[in-house]
Amino acid sequence: MFEFITWGGAALSLIGLAGLVWCILHVMKARKSGLSDDELRAVVQRVLPWNMGALFLSVIGLMLVILGISFG
């Protein structure tokens, strides 16, 4: 049973990591496109909730991995 928790947590962490990479690439693309400060700030504000959600998924996934390893 705890093996499923461990692998599920690893999958959740990888999904969160992919989300973080997407956020980084999205903001880098916006920076390279030569937007004004206000436009760049708007892009970052749109990406910020996705960034926090991806970070949350990664943290919860890592917690599940630790829980699965500890009890397994």
Q: Average pLDDT of 41-65?
A: 97
The pLDDT-based confidence of 72 (bands split at 50, 70, 90) is confident
pLDDT for residue 2: 85
HEC-encoded secondary structure of 5-70? HHHHHHHHHHHHHHHHHHHHHHHHHHHHCCCCHHHHHHHHHHHHHHHHHHHHHHHHHHHHHHHHHH
Tell whether the model's pLDDT for residue 13 goes beyond 90: yes
Encode pLDDT of 32-49 as tens digits: 998 999 999 999 999 999
pTM of the predicted model as reported, rounded to 2 decimal places = 0.87
